[in-house]
């Protein structure tokens, strides 16, 4: 069972609908007694980093997520949920994230391209992997991106202007997608399916 964490900052049901389509058993909940019974967790997210972390703390979900990760429960962060996996973000002032991944979330600085990045971009492989194929396009909506991360944690990236945007990251039982796999067509669904069935 996959627990989709409901903390009020995401279109949860687009993720749930994608899981349902893939035949992945899932539940949307903010109740830790329900989420604690799940084998894997998904942390979606849309909005501002500080609001995300404040809400997770105030709902008791921050400590719960840390406890579950320490028990080797697999965690997938999507969009803002992926950014929360890193050490800090500079969005609206410096704010601590979970620190599951080395790196910092910074504003996209290349003024030659439109910010935020909204739309499709090609996902390129950083290391040999079998999660996605060449010429995979994924759908992004974001103004901030992770920098200074460990190269070994970077599985796939997209170039946007001069910026190397970490798109797919992994470290042990932590996985993150800056793009929205649930909105990225069949290729995105295959990445979500990889998390649900193989990760």
Catalytic residue among 142, 177, 182, 193: 182
| Residue 122 near residue 136 (C-beta atoms within 8 A) | yes
> Which of 18, 19, 17, 14 minimizes the C-alpha distance to 2?
19
Q: Can you tell me whether residue 72 is helix, strand or coil?
A: coil
177 catalytic per annotation: no
Q: Is the Cα dihedral 67, 68, 74, 80 positive or negative?
A: negative
**In which residue are the tokens 């979500």 written?**
192
| Residue 147 near residue 104 (C-beta atoms within 8 A) | yes
Report residue 107 as tokens.
Answer: 């504003």
Which residues are within 8 A (CB) of 113 and not within 5 positions of it... i.e. 6 or more apart?
A: 160, 161, 163
79 catalytic per annotation: yes
155 alpha carbon, distance to own chain's centre: 13
Catalytic residue among 79, 95, 142, 193: 79
Catalytic residue among 52, 91, 180, 193: 180
- Whole-angstrom CA distances from 156 to 35, 75, 102, 197 are 29, 18, 16, 19
142 catalytic per annotation: no
**Active site members:** 79, 180, 182
């Amino acid at each position: 069972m996959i627990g989709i964490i409901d903390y009020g900052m995401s279109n949860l049901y687009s993720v749930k609908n994608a899981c349902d389509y893939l035949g992945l058993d899932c539940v949307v909940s903010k109740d830790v007694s329900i989420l604690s019974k799940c084998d894997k967790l998904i942390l979606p997210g849309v909005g501002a980093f500080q609001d995300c972390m404040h809400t997770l703390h105030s709902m008791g979900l921050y400590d719960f997520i840390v406890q579950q990760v320490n028990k080797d429960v697999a965690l997938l962060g999507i969009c803002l949920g992926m950014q929360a996996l890193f050490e800090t973000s500079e969005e609206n002032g410096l704010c601590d994230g979970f620190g599951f991944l080395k790196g910092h979330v910074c504003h996209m600085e290349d003024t030659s391209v439109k910010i935020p990045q909204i739309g499709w971009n090609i996902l390129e492989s950083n290391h040999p992997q079998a999660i996605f194929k060449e010429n995979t396009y994924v759908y992004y909506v974001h103004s901030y991106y992770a920098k200074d991360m460990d190269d070994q944690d970077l599985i796939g990236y997209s170039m946007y202007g001069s910026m190397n945007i970490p798109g797919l990251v992994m470290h042990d039982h932590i996985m993150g997608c800056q793009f929205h796999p649930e909105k990225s067509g069949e290729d995105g669904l295959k990445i979500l399916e990889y998390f649900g069935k193989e990760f």
